[in-house]
Structure formats: structure tokens, C-alpha cells
Structure 1
Amino acid sequence: METITTCPVCNNNKFKPHLDCKDYLVSNQMFSIVYCTQCSFRLTNPRPDATKIGTYYKAEQYVSHNDESSGLVNTAYRMVRKYTLKSKLDLINKLNKGKGCILDVGCGTGTFLETCQKDGWQITGMEPDVDARSIATKKLNISIFPDLDTIQKAKPFDVITLWHVLEHIADLNGVIPQLYKLLTKTGTLLIAVPNSDSYDANYFKQYWAAYDVPRHLHHFTPSTIEALMAKHQFKLVGKRPMIFDAFYIAMLSTKYRTGKTDYLESIRIGLASNASAKQTGNSSSLIYLFNKA
């Protein structure tokens, strides 16, 4: 385990407890989430170090790395994914005004890149997990890079995407400058992360599945991610809600709380969260659009 002593956003060194959460997916261990007393950034602290964190991803249910995960919730996830993949493709086509070069960081098994490839995009993927990388390589018939350091490209990318990836990255202040260098001057960086200030996060508290400790090292809110990215010369140019996340997260959260998924409550909380977000902007998950400042 390693203990973080300095806030990645504002460099403050004082933290206070936020919540203690359980790892329901792999270890059943308890982990603490703290917040910075200066900027309110939330993070899992202490956390597994680089030599140990990989063991917390070894679960059949970890759907982002496994195209065959079973169960009703994961089946529903993949059904919704077909719709969201089209929505993501439509978004990048609109932002780029046509096809271009795209890098998907944390591409998992390559499902999103496959959608882009079929649409005529020049695709590049990065995925640290060896099993997921192997699946993506076979699916896409291209080499998938294990990290950003190994990406060799003469020209920068028009679009870079991180779909629920930034919360997993340990060295935020090391990775974000790399993304800046890999993006064209007029390119767009899309980052999707859970919002720990959302209605459903406040409702489920320590059972909120999107805390997903210890795999989620950081727990963003709209204000803290904007501050972090501004620190690295990125400006926020837009946000998009991920409306289905509220329902999926609620299904997992009810199961974590009682041991059994409550589908009616999940639908009710998902609807309530999305309704609240129309007033507050605090969707369960958000896609943030950044340009170079």
C-alpha cells in the first residue's frame, strides 16, 4: 500500500475522511476515500501500489476487460453499449467534422475502436491489461500499445478518448501532459468519469458502485476535474451526460448494499438522478470535452 501525501490538483497536504468503502468485486477489503481540505478533490488513500493494483482487476465480472461476462446486469450493460457506441461515434464525428486519427486510452477489448475503424477512422489503442490487449489486437488486427510512452507517431491525434479511464490512472500529473503532447492544436480530448457529487452518489453513499475501490484511485466532480485539467493548459469546452450510467450504477449499488439487485429501486433512482442532473448538471457520469487552452 502507498499513502498519498500531496493533492494532485492543488498540492495541498491536508486531507479529511470522506467515506470508507468496500471492494465488492474482488477482495472484500475496506478502503478509505479522503478529500483535500483546500480544493475538495477526492481520492482513495492509502491505495495499492503499482506492484499490487493488478490483482484487483482479476474478476470475471470486470466487464470492461471481458466481452463474455455473465449475469443480467452485465447483459444489460452490453445491450446499452450498442446504443452508447453509436452516440460516442456521432459525437467524435461532429467534433472533428469528419474522419481523422483517434487514440483510445484504456481501450479495453477494443469495442469502441472497432466502431471507429468500421466508420473510417485511423485508430490507435493503448491498454495496460495484457489479457484485454490480446483480445483487442485480434479483434482490430492492429498492435495495441501497453502505455503512452510506447506510442510512436509522426503526427498528433485529432481526437483522444478516455472512457472511464482517468479515475484508474495513478500518476495524473504525469499522464495528462503526455495527452497534451499527443493531441493536435485544434484536437479534442474526451474524458468520461463518474461524478461523486451526483444524486445517486449521495443516495447510495458508501455503497455507490462507481467508487469501485481500489480500482478507482480518484473520484472526480465537475469542479475538480476542470481544475486539474486547467493546471495542464486544457480548457473545458463542453459536457455531456451519460444517462444510462445512473441506472447501471444503481443496479450494482443495490446489490452491494443488500446482496440482491433491486431493479425497481434502480430504475427509480436512475430516473431521479437524471432528473436532478437537468437542474444541477451533476449527472451520474459525464463526458468532458477539452481543447488546448
Structure 2
Amino acid sequence: MSLAPQTMAAPLAPECPFTGSRMRPHLSVPFDWRRPEDHRSWDIWWDDQAEYGQVHPRPRPVDVAAFYDIDAYYTHAERQRFDPAEEARMVGWRGRVLSSLAFRFENGAEPTAEWWRSVVPKGARNGLEIGCGNGDRMITYGPFLDLVCGVEPDPRAVSAARGNGLKVFEGTAEALPVDVTQSTYDLIVFAHVLEHTIDPVQSLRNAAALLSDNGLMSIEVPNNDCMGARMMGPAWRWLDAPRHLNFFTAESLQTCAEAAGLKVQAVLYRGYVRQFTHDWIVDEARITATMQGRAMTQADVDRQLRHSAKLLARSALAAPGHKYDSVRVLCTRA
């Protein structure tokens, strides 16, 4: 994996948790675009051998909760403020054409109800989702299990999930609540959660201890090896520092799972068409403008549409690791 380093002032280089090698500067994010009033920059360091990156210095656990205290975040459905109809108007017919063309090249493993039905172990009874947000995924795969519960650190998301009748406990992957550690589970799900953890190996190790002998663990993260990430840099929608503290490729995700005592049974990819949907295009235009210290304009969206057209041309026939925005591994106990 070839990534051009960028010059930045930083403390002593951290050691990669997988190789022990000193990591190198990769990206400097000028500030949190979702919270521009916070002027702190966030430095991402990278290890080429492991294909893994991390924010360094690491934030303190006590500081992490503030990163999520924002008006528009996917776990806070009741607080969304962007208008989908307005976003669709801004991308216009060009956006619709891009999305339609991308659909022709979509062949990812989308986690639909039918997909979950195909992978939930035969005879499975109990399921656990760590970092379940508002519980929307639990509703999708829940019908294939007798009992599903979740763990979520955000109290607002916990409240939203419980409002949907779901059994969700407040806690983190590194410190699971006692309510869930008294059982074993035939299905454990991490869906875009591991990148948020301060200690990803310990997070998976905690979950692996609860996996039944014939159980399955599904772990999905953003794919930092995709062309969209390479082309957008700090403004890539899935970069999202400082909420994302770890940056994986398929290689490093497998390494992380194995370090936690899991055996990787399959590597899957998803997320091609959505890189060309109106909300994605407008979000990346908004991120770019915000990082330049100004409000987004129609010109920014038009510029992003041209960028998306280039991405489509370069990625439509690319290998999965360079095409899809997310990677997922299915694991069993080693």
C-alpha cells in the first residue's frame, strides 16, 4: 500500500500495536469538521507493513464522549437536521446519472435481512451487538434469533433503541456491562464500531470471550484502502476523525481479529453505490468547505460531482479492496 506522507509537527512516533514498528505521519486533519468551534487538529499515523493507522496522541477516554455531542450524527436520528430533498436538488440530474451508473457495478455483500439469514449459525439463539447505536441493525437480524441485546456508550442512542423496544445496555467495547457478560452468544456484531475504540484488540478480545463454540462474529469497518479514501484525504466521509481513532484495511482488520484470538473465515466488502448518492456527495462537499473555513455553496457540490465522476471512472472495474468503502470479516473462535 503506497501512501504519500505529509509533513506535520508531532510528538514521538507511536509504535504500531501489530508490528511494533514506529509509525509514520500520514494525514493531518485541521479540525473536527462536525465541531468547527473546536480548533484542535488530529494527526493520523500509519504503519505500511500492517496497513493500519491511528490518531496519535490518543484522546483520553473521558474526552471521547464530547466528540459525539453534535447535532447531526447517525445514532441521533431524532436530531438530524439535513434535508434529503434539498441535497437531491443540489446534485441534480448529474448525481442521479452517477448513482445509476454506479449501481451497474455494485456487487458488494450488503447486510440485508436475507444476507443475515444466510450467515446466522444454524440453531443460533442469542445475539449481541456491540456499539448498536439506535438499534436499526438489531431489528434487521433479530428475527433470526430468539434473543438479541446491545451495548452502546451514547445515552441518547440507548434511549432511542429502548424506545424501539430493544434490550440495550449502556457501556463500551473495552468495558462491557455485567448485564451482557453473564451469557454467551451465537452471533456477535461490530458494525462500524471498531474504528471508534481506544483499544481495538482488547475490544475484540472481550467479545471473543463471550462467543459460543459454534458462534460467528461479524466485524465491519471503513476500508481505508479504497480509492475514495485516497482521493479525498482528510475530507473523506468515512475518515471522520476524531470519532474514528483507528484506520483499517482488509489486511489490518484480519490482523486485529487474529490478535484477539479469532479465526477469520471470510473477508467481504460493501459500499460502492452509496459513494455516489446525493447525501455522500453533498457531505464531502460540505466537509471540504468547512475545512476551508467557509459555508458550502452550490459550486462546491458541482466540484464534488466532477470528483465523483472521476472516482467512478477509476473504480468501477477495480479490485474489491480498492473499490468498496467498507470491509467486513466473519470470524469464529480460534
Q: TM-score, normalised by structure 1?
A: 0.84
189, 213, 218: which one aligns with 2:241: 213
Sort the Cα spacing of 1:273 and 1:57 in 2 relative to 1 into closer, same or farther, 3 A.
Answer: farther
Sort the Cα spacing of 1:271 and 1:50 in 2 relative to 1 into closer, same or farther, 3 A.
Answer: same
Contact 2:169 2:177 in 1 (8 A): no
Contact 2:121 2:216 in 1 (8 A): no
57, 70, 76: which one aligns with 1:65: 76
In structure 1, the partner of 2:155 is: 130
CA distance in 2, matches of 1:45, 1:188: 32
Contact 1:102 1:124 in 2 (8 A): yes
Whether 2:36 is the aligned partner of 1:7: answer no
Secondary structure at the residue paired with 2:112?
Answer: helix
Secondary structure at the residue paired with 1:197?
Answer: coil
User: 1:1-293 alignment to 2 at 5 Å?
Assistant: 5-12=14-21, 14-21=22-29, 22-26=31-35, 27-36=38-47, 38-72=49-83, 87-96=111-120, 100-117=125-142, 121-147=146-172, 148-152=176-180, 155-238=183-266, 239-247=268-276, 249-258=280-289, 259=296, 260-262=300-302, 264-265=305-306, 267-268=308-309, 271-272=312-313, 275-278=316-319, 280=321, 282-293=323-334
Sort the Cα spacing of 1:261 and 1:188 in 2 relative to 1 into closer, same or farther, 3 A.
Answer: farther
Contact 2:54 2:246 in 1 (8 A): yes
CA distance in 2, matches of 1:246, 1:71: 18
Larger deviation: 212-221 or 109-118?
109-118
The list of structure 1 runs, each at least 4 consecutive aligned residues, that deviate by more than 6 angstroms after superposition, is: 74-77
Secondary structure at the residue paired with 2:244?
Answer: coil
Larger deviation: 53-62 or 142-151?
142-151
Secondary structure at the residue paired with 2:70?
Answer: coil
Q: What 5-or-longer segments of structure 2 have no aligned partner?
A: 1-10, 89-107, 290-295
Q: Which amino acid counterpart does residue 90 of structure 1 have in structure 2?
A: E
In structure 2, the partner of 1:80 is: none
Taking every aligned residue pair, what percent have the same amino acid on both sides? 23
Q: Which amino acid counterpart does residue 264 of structure 1 have in structure 2?
A: L
User: Structure 1 residue 171: deviation in Å?
Assistant: 1.4
Q: What 5-or-longer segments of structure 1 have no aligned partner?
A: 78-83
Q: Which has the larger radius of gyration?
A: 2
In structure 2, the partner of 1:81 is: none
- Root-mean-square deviation (CA), in Å? 3.1
Secondary structure at the residue paired with 1:211?
Answer: coil
Q: Which amino acid counterpart does residue 119 of structure 2 have in structure 1?
A: L
Sort the Cα spacing of 1:66 and 1:242 in 2 relative to 1 into closer, same or farther, 3 A.
Answer: same
